[in-house]
C-alpha cells in the first residue's frame, strides 16, 4: 500500500506529540506510517508510552540508540534513508527538537520529500543546548512549520521564513494531556503511582548542563536535599541522570535521604498522576513547563533561558538559577500560597493535531499549489 505520510518519533518527549497527529491524520483516511528511530530504547522510556497513548506499534524500528551526538545522528540518517526510499511518502512529519528530528528532516529534505515540523520556531538562543541547534536547522529545511506560541511566529519571521509556510496551530503536547486527563483517576497504573502526601514536590533533571558536570550535579543534589527539608520530593530518574549520579558517587546519599523518593522513569499516566497532585514542579524539561502551565501548577525551571517563553509570560512557570537558596526561597513562596496568577496560552485547547491535519490535507490535495 502506498504511504502518504511518515511520522518520525525517537525520544520520550516525541511520543505524546505524535499520538494526536497520528489519530487526526489516520482518521482523514491517509496511510500513515510510524517510524521509531530507537533513540530512546528502554521499555520505560519508550514502550509504555505507545501503550498508554494508544499509538500503534511502529511500522519501522531503526534501533539506533546511544552513542555520541554525531554517531547517533549519523546512524539515524543512514537507517532512515533506506526506510524513506522504500516507503516513498508524500510528506515526512517530524516533531520537537531531538537528534531524531534533525536527522530525519535532513534526509527527507535531500531526498526531495517535503518536511513538516511540529513545534517549529521555538528558540532559547542558547547554542550550548544541542536541542537549539536541532531546532534552528530543522526549521531552515522544513516546508510546513507548525507553531505552538506567539514567540515562534516572531522568531521565524525574524529568520526570514516565508509567512505562507508558517501555521499557528497550538500545542499537540496539550492535546495528549487533554486526551488522557479524565482517565488518570480511573487508570490502575496511574492510581498505583499516586502518593499519600498531600503536599510534595515533583522533580525531574536531565539536561547535560545540569547533570553531566560534577559540581553542577552536586548542587542539584544539595538543592533537592534542602527542598526535602520543607516537603517530600519525588524524583523519577532519567537514565542520563542516574548514570551521572552513579559515576560521581552521589546516588546513595540522595536515595538515603528520608524525604527524597528516588524513582525509575515513570509512564505517561503515572507521571501525570504525580504531576496533577504536586504542589510544585522543579525541572529542567521542556514539555513539563507547558504541561504545568496548562494545569496551572507552579513550576520552577532550573535553566537560564527557555525556548517556551509563553509559559513564563502567561503560564505558571518561572526560570530559576541552579542556586540552593534561590530555589528554596521560591519553594517557600509557593508553599505560602503566594504564586502568580496564570493563564492558558491561546489555542492550547486539545485540538492542535486536527488543525495540523487540516493544513497537511490541504497541502496534499491534488489541485492545491503547495509551498
Active site residues: 206
> Shortest Cβ distance from residue 306 to ligand UD1 (Å)?
13
Among 175, 190, 188, residue whose Cα is nearest residue 291? 175
According to the binding rule CB under 6 A, does residue 13 interact with ligand UD1? yes
According to the binding rule CB under 6 A, does residue 346 interact with ligand UD1? no
Which of 34, 35, 45, 227: binder of ligand UD1 (CB under 6 A)? 45
Stretch in the footprint of ligand UD1 (CB under 6 A) among 41-49, 155-163, 175-183, 333-341: 41-49
Among 58, 292, 291, 51, residue whose Cα is nearest residue 187? 51
Q: How far apart are CA 307 and CA 284, in angstroms?
A: 12
Please identify, using beta-carbon distances, which residue of 40 and 355 lies nearer to ligand UD1.
40
x/- site string to ligand UD1, residues 117 to 146, per CB under 6 A? -------------xx---------------
According to the binding rule CB under 6 A, does residue 23 interact with ligand UD1? no
CA atoms within 13 A on the CB side of 126: 12
Tell me which residue has cell 523519577: 236
Q: Are 30 and 116 in contact (CB under 8 A)?
A: no
Please identify, using beta-carbon distances, which residue of 10 and 232 lies nearer to ligand UD1.
10
> Shortest Cβ distance from residue 175 to ligand UD1 (Å)?
19
Which of 6, 8, 9, 11: binder of ligand UD1 (CB under 6 A)? 11
What is the CA angle 283-43-55, rounded to 5? 90
Show the cell assigned to 45: 522510556
Residue with smallest beta-carbon separation from ligand UD1: 98
- In the β-sheet with 280-283, what is the strand arrangement from edge to edge? 260-263, 233-236, 201-204, 280-283, 299-301, 317-319
According to the binding rule CB under 6 A, does residue 64 interact with ligand UD1? no
Q: Are 191 and 267 in contact (CB under 8 A)?
A: no
Q: How far apart are CA 20 and CA 171, in angstroms?
A: 10
Stretch in the footprint of ligand UD1 (CB under 6 A) among 235-243, 267-275, 316-324, 362-370: 235-243
According to the binding rule CB under 6 A, does residue 40 interact with ligand UD1? yes
Q: How far is CA 197 from CA 27, 233, 263, 318, in A?
A: 42, 10, 16, 24
> Shortest Cβ distance from residue 128 to ligand UD1 (Å)?
12
> Shortest Cβ distance from residue 359 to ligand UD1 (Å)?
25
Tell me which residue has cell 505524546: 16
Stretch in the footprint of ligand UD1 (CB under 6 A) among 40-48, 74-82, 119-127, 143-151: 40-48
- DSSP per residue over 265-299, as a string? PPPHHHHHHHHHH-SEEEE--SHHHHHHHHHT--E
Which of 30, 41, 146, 268: binder of ligand UD1 (CB under 6 A)? 41
Please identify, using beta-carbon distances, which residue of 92 and 98 lies nearer to ligand UD1.
98
Q: Which residues bind ligand UD1 (CB under 6 A)?
A: 11-13, 39-42, 45, 65-66, 97-99, 130-131, 206, 238-240, 286
Amino acid at each position: 500500500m502506498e504511504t502518504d505520510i511518515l511520522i518520525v518519533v525517537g525520544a520520550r518527549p516525541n511520543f505524546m506529540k505524535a499520538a494526536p497527529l497520528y489519530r487526526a491524520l489516520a482518521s482523514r483516511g491517509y496511510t500513515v506510517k510510524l517510524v521509531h528511530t530507537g533513540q530512546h530504547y528502554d521499555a520505560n522510556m519508550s514502550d509504555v508510552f505507545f501503550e498508554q497513548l494508544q499509538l500503534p506499534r511502529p511500522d519501522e524500528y531503526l534501533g539506533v540508540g546511544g552513542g555520541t551526538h554525531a554517531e547517533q545522528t549519523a546512524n539515524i540518517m543512514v537507517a532512515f534513508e533506506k526506510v524513506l526510499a522504500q516507503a516513498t511518502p508524500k510528506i515526512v512529519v517530524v516533531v520537537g527538537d531531538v537528534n531524531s528530528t534533525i536527522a530525519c528532516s535532513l534526509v527527507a529534505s535531500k531526498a526531495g520529500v517535503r518536511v513538516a515540523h511540529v513545534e517549529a520556531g521555538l528558540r532559547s538562543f542558547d547554542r550550548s543546548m544541542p536541542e537549539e541547534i536541532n531546532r534552528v536547522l530543522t526549521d531552515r529545511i522544513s516546508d510546513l512549520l507548525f507553531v505552538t506560541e506567539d514567540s515562534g511566529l516572531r522568531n521565524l519571521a525574524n529568520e526570514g521564513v516565508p509567512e505562507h509556510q508558517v501555521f499557528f496551530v497550538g500545542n499537540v503536547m496539550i492535546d495528549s494531556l487533554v486526551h488522557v486527563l479524565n482517565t488518570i483517576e480511573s487508570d490502575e497504573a496511574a492510581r498505583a503511582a499516586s502518593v499519600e502526601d498531600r503536599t510534595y514536590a515533583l522533580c525531574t533533571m536531565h539536561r547535560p548542563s545540569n547533570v553531566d558536570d560534577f559540581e553542577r550535579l552536586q548542587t542539584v543534589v544539595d538543592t533537592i536535599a534542602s527542598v526535602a527539608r520543607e516537603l517530600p520530593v519525588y524524583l523519577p530518574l532519567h537514565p542520563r541522570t542516574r548514570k551521572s549520579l552513579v559515576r560521581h558517587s552521589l546516588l546513595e546519599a540522595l536515595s538515603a535521604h528520608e524525604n527524597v523518593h528516588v524513582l525509575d522513569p515513570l509512564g505517561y499516566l503515572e507521571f501525570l498522576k504525580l504531576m496533577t497532585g504536586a504542589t510544585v514542579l522543579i525541572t529542567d524539561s521542556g514539555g513539563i513547563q507547558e504541561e504545568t502551565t496548562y494545569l496551572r501548577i507552579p513550576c520552577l525551571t532550573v535553566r537560564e533561558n527557555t525556548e517556551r517563553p509563553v509559559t513564563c509570560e502567561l503560564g505558571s512557570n518561572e526560570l530559576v538559577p541552579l542556586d540552593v537558596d534561590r530555589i528554596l526561597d521560591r519553594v517557600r513562596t509557593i508553599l505560602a500560597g503566594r504564586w502568580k496568577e496564570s493563564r492558558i496560552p491561546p489555542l492550547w485547547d486539545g485540538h492542535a493535531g486536527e488543525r495540523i491535519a487540516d493544513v497537511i490535507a490541504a497541502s496534499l490535495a491534488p489541485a492545491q499549489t503547495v509551498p
